[in-house]
Homo-oligomer: A and B are copies of this chain.
Amino acid sequence: MSAGKAREARDRKQIDIRRAAIEEFARHGYRGASTQAIAARAGLSKPQLHYYIDSKEDLYREVLLETMHAWGDLFAVDDAGLSPAQVLSDYIRRKLEFSFDHPLMSRIFTAEMLAGAPVFKPYMAVYRRRTAAAATMIRRWIDRGLMRPVDPLQLLMNIWAVTQSYADHRDQVLFYMRKPALGIADRERIIAHVTSLILTGCGLGAAPVAAAARRRPARRPAKSASP
- Interface residues of chain A, those whose CB is within 8 Å of chain B, are 26-33, 107, 110-111, 113-117, 124, 128, 131-132, 142, 145, 148-151, 153-155, 157-158, 160-162, 164-165, 168-169, 171-173, 175-177, 189-190, 193-194, 196-198, 200-203, 205-206, 209, 212-213, 216-218, 220-221, 223-224, 227
> Are B31 and A28 in contact, with the CB atoms below 8 A?
yes
- Asked if residues A113 and B169 are in contact (CB atoms below 8 Å), the reply is yes
- Chain B residues with Cβ below 8 Å from A32 are 28-33, 115
Which of chain B's residues have a CB closer than 8 A to the CB of A154?
A: 190, 193-194, 197, 218
Instruction: Report yes or no: B197 in contact with A155, Cβ–Cβ below 8 A.
Output: yes
- A148 and B26 contacting across the interface, CB-CB below 8 Å: no
Whole-angstrom CA separation of A158 from B172 in the bound complex: 12
Residues from chain B with a CB closer than 8 A to the CB of A124 are 172, 175
Partner of A203, one of B27, B209, B218: B209
B107 touches A220 (CB 8 A): no
Bound complex: CA A193 to CA B227 (Å): 21
CA distance A177 to B27 in the complex (A): 29
B residues less than 8 Å from A168 (CB atoms) = 110, 113-114
State how many angstroms separate the Cβ of A223 from the closest Cβ of chain B: 6
Q: Which residues of B contact A177 (CB under 8 A)?
A: 153
- Would you call B193 and A150 a contact (CB within 8 A)? yes
Which interface residue of A124, A148, A151, A213 has the most chain B CB atoms within 10 A?
A: A148
- Please report the C-alpha to C-alpha distance between residue A142 and residue B160 in the assembled complex, in whole angstroms: 27
